[in-house]
């Protein structure tokens, strides 16, 4: 089966082989939806390579667009795995033999069929492409609950986001309990921050562990195992959150001194990812470095990583230390799959461009299969204010063009493709913004090339290019002027493309024919155009 972008190029070659007269108009109007409706015939999306550890439970939903019902078959499915042919979900136990296990997936419905190879790489590496999913923090914060997590799983499937490759549904802070003494000590601050939140009704204040030292969820999570089973029944994976300190950022119970017990508990509950947030752990880390000879930052994070890897589950480790102590230099050797490169973007969402450019320049060499620079979530659409998190969510301070820039950047710099917003109020614009299959496929491309900066001026323009496994290139052109339209020209020789190259508009999923020498693009203020060039 030919790769996705080869097929795109073939369709383009059938177009009129002449560049359009004048600049290509890629301006975007307010709340304009660019992504067209998905095809009725089957289209398989997502990664073509997938890492798993030997002998562990396996779960993978085949991301497939098209009119349902779709019938799936898999040729050369490894022993120990089974396929739900009606839903396209592979489950079972990963082969114990390390190495590559190549298979062919076919999806067919009343409008046609498509086949594509899929390779499970059994060994020590997970996340061979950037992890994808939704996290509760931005939109839900203190209001996260079992019900919200189930709604998020339903939304990802029902609105087609699972069909383009979103996999994880993650709880952030505030699923645990608050210590009574700590609550009383900080009562004024807590009441103001949590607004109308009812701690008694939600059983968030009380014992934080049982007599055996096991962490206790608050009353909004009556049965963690049942909740993860529900998420897994959709073919999706479940994420959880903790801190290496006594308290999390919001002063709920952390994991300090209970790392082994907590890792065991997460595995028993059925979680597939841990976001581990420094918070109060920073004080312990400073003390240890000051008092223990030879103690290094990585020694502080190693225990949880080791305990997670000892579980009979594949659990991704997302380290959140805000880029302190250069985690990209030591986290990979601990088997950690991703690490934050800076502060929380929900406080400073307008910094999205700065964060992405840093990954494309000084940190690019640390991005590779199994290890990812994490610039934080795509805080997109409605989120809460952390200073008054009990109150309703509000729209982020980014206009439509900036939102397209934001998602484009996360795709081309191979950032973990996680979004965070209020899923109870998600709108059609946001679903289409996140649900462009070609954008996700660029992020999930097996070559995992982090986009390079061709040229950059923070006040006028930025041009970036990302190599694709089939030999094509993803070209992103950004207007950095916040007030004025711009026409930006890129010559093919600048990006190493041929003199006559075919073009595909990724956001509009539109073939543009052959362009000689280069392309000029007309962009809105803070606008972006994303192309596949072949």
What pLDDT does residue 198 have?
86
Distance separating alpha carbons of residues 27 and 232, to the nearest angstrom:
40
Give the chain's domains with CATH numbers.
Answer: 4-38+450-533 (2.60.40.1180), 54-122 (2.60.40.10), 132-443 (3.20.20.70)
* pLDDT, tens digit (0-9, with 9 covering 90-100), for 192-236: 777 778 888 899 999 999 999 999 999 999 999 999 999 999 999
- Take residue 45 and report the two structure tokens written for it: 């999306």
Buried b (16+ CB within 10 A) or exposed e, 19-45: beeeebebebeeeebbbeebeebbbbb
Distance separating alpha carbons of residues 161 and 65, to the nearest angstrom:
10
* Residue 107 β-bridge partners: 72, 114
- Take residue 421 and report the two structure tokens written for it: 């917003």
* pLDDT, tens digit (0-9, with 9 covering 90-100), for 293-304: 999 999 999 999
Of 430, 428, 417, 440, residue with least CA distance to 509: 440
- Take residue 122 and report the two structure tokens written for it: 């059994």
pTM score of the predicted model = 0.95
Buried b (16+ CB within 10 A) or exposed e, 320-351: bbbbebebbebbbebbbbbbbbbebbbeebee
Buried b (16+ CB within 10 A) or exposed e, 449-469: bbbbebebeeeebbbbbbbbb
Give just the sign of the alpha carbon dihedral 73, 77, 79, 81. Answer: negative
What pLDDT does residue 395 have?
97
Rounded mean pLDDT, 269-283: 96
* pLDDT, tens digit (0-9, with 9 covering 90-100), for 235-256: 999 999 999 999 999 989 999 9
What pLDDT does residue 21 have?
66
Rounded mean pLDDT, 445-468: 98
- With 0-12 / 13-18 / 19 or more C-beta atoms within 10 angstroms meaning exposed / middle / buried, residue 232 is buried
Q: Give me the count of residues in the chain.
A: 534
Buried b (16+ CB within 10 A) or exposed e, 238-251: bbbbbbbbbbbbbb
* pLDDT, tens digit (0-9, with 9 covering 90-100), for 21-73: 689 999 999 999 999 999 999 999 999 999 999 999 999 999 999 999 999 99
Distance separating alpha carbons of residues 153 and 169, to the nearest angstrom:
6
* pLDDT, tens digit (0-9, with 9 covering 90-100), for 140-197: 999 999 999 999 999 999 999 999 999 999 999 999 999 888 777 766 666 677 777 8
According to DSSP H, which parts of 216-351 are helical? 224-233, 259-269, 281-291, 297-309
Confidence at 76, pLDDT banded by 50, 70, 90:
very high
What pLDDT does residue 18 have?
40
Half-sphere exposure of 130 (CA within 13 A, CB side): 31
Contact in structure between 439 and 474 (CB atoms under 8 Å): no
CA distances from 382 to 28, 139, 177, 524 (A): 20, 6, 26, 23
Distance separating alpha carbons of residues 336 and 315, to the nearest angstrom:
10
What pLDDT does residue 188 have?
64
Distance separating alpha carbons of residues 514 and 501, to the nearest angstrom:
5
Contact in structure between 139 and 420 (CB atoms under 8 Å): yes
SS3 string of 274-311? EEEECCCHHHHHHHHHHHCCCCCHHHHHHHHHHHHHCC
What pLDDT does residue 184 have?
79
* Residue 339 β-bridge partners: 319, 373
What pLDDT does residue 19 have?
44
Q: Is 25 left (phi over 0), alpha (psi -120 to 50) or beta?
A: beta
* Residue 64 β-bridge partners: 44
Buried b (16+ CB within 10 A) or exposed e, 171-198: bbbbbbbbbeebbeeeeeebeebbeebe
- Take residue 466 and report the two structure tokens written for it: 């990302």
- Take residue 507 and report the two structure tokens written for it: 């956001």
Of 107, 6, 25, residue with least CA distance to 527: 25
Rounded mean pLDDT, 436-455: 98
Element (H, E) at 379: strand 378-379
What pLDDT does residue 420 have?
98
Distance separating alpha carbons of residues 153 and 238, to the nearest angstrom:
9
Res. 484: pLDDT tops 80: yes
* pLDDT, tens digit (0-9, with 9 covering 90-100), for 375-427: 999 999 999 999 889 899 999 999 999 999 999 999 999 999 999 999 999 99
Element (H, E) at 442: helix 437-443
Q: Is 370 left (phi over 0), alpha (psi -120 to 50) or beta?
A: left
End-to-end CA distance of the chain: 18
Residue with tokens 């920073």: 282
Rounded mean pLDDT, 12-27: 63
Residue with tokens 């190879």: 117
Q: Which pairs with CB-CB distance under 8 Å and at least 24 residues apart come from 479-484?
A: 479/401, 479/523, 479/524, 479/525, 479/526, 479/527, 479/528, 480/353, 480/526, 481/525, 481/526, 482/525, 482/526, 483/525, 484/525
Q: What is the mean pLDDT of the chain?
A: 94
Confidence at 5, pLDDT banded by 50, 70, 90:
very low
Rounded mean pLDDT, 78-94: 98
């Amino acid at each position: 089966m030919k790769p996705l972008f080869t097929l795109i190029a073939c369709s383009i070659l059938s177009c009129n082989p002449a560049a359009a007269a004048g600049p290509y108009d890629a301006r975007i109007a307010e709340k304009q939806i660019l992504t067209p409706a998905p095809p009725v015939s089957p289209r398989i999306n997502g990664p073509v390579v997938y890492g798993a550890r030997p002998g562990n439970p396996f779960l993978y939903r085949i991301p497939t667009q098209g009119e349902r019902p779709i019938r799936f078959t898999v040729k050369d499915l490894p022993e120990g795995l089974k396929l739900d042919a009606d839903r396209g979900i592979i489950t079972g136990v990963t082969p114990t033999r390390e190495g590559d296990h190549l298979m062919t997936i076919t999806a067919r419905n009343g409008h046609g069929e498509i086949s594509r190879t899929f390779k499970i790489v059994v060994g020590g590496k997970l996340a061979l492409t950037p992890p994808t999913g939704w996290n509760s923090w931005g939109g839900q914060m203190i209001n996260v609950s079992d019900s919200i997590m189930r709604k998020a799983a339903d939304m990802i499937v029902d609105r087609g986001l699972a069909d383009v490759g979103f996999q994880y549904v993650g709880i952030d802070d505030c699923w645990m309990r608050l210590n009574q003494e700590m609550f009383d000590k900080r009562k004024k601050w807590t009441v103001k921050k949590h607004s109308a939140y009812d701690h008694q009704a939600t059983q968030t204040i009380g014992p934080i562990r049982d007599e055996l030292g096991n962490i206790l969820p608050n009353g909004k999570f009556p049965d963690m195992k049942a909740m993860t089973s529900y998420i897994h029944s959709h073919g999706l994976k479940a994420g959880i959150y903790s801190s290496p300190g006594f308290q999390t950022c919001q002063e709920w119970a952390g994991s300090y001194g209970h790392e082994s017990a907590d890792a065991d508990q997460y595995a028993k509950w059925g979680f597939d990812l841990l976001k581990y947030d420094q918070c109060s752990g920073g004080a312990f880390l400073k003390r240890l470095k000051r008092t223990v000879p030879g103690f290094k930052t990585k020694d502080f994070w190693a225990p949880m990583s080791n305990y997670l890897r000892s579980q009979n589950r594949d659990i991704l480790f997302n380290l959140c230390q805000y880029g302190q102590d250069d985690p990209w230099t030591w986290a990979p050797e601990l088997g950690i799959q991703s690490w934050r490169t800076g502060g929380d973007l929900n406080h400073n969402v307008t910094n999205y461009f700065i964060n992405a450019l840093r990954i494309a320049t000084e940190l690019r060499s640390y991005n590779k299969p199994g290890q990812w620079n994490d610039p934080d979530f795509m805080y997109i659409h409605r989120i809460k204010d952390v200073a008054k998190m009990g109150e309703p969510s509000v729209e982020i301070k980014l206009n439509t063009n900036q939102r397209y820039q934001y998602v484009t950047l996360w795709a081309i710099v191979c950032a973990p493709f996680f979004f965070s917003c209020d899923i109870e109020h998600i709108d059609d614009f946001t679903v289409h913004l996140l649900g462009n299959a070609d954008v996700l496929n660029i992020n999930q491309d097996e070559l995992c090339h982090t986009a390079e900066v061709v040229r950059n001026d923070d006040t006028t323009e930025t041009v970036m290019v990302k190599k694709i496994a089939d030999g094509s290139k993803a070209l992103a052109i950004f207007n950095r002027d916040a007030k004025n339209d711009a026409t930006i020209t890129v010559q093919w020789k600048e990006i190493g493309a041929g003199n006559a190259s075919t073009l595909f508009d990724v956001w509009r999923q539109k073939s543009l024919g052959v362009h000689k020498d280069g392309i000029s693009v007309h962009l809105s203020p803070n606008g972006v155009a994303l192309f596949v060039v072949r």
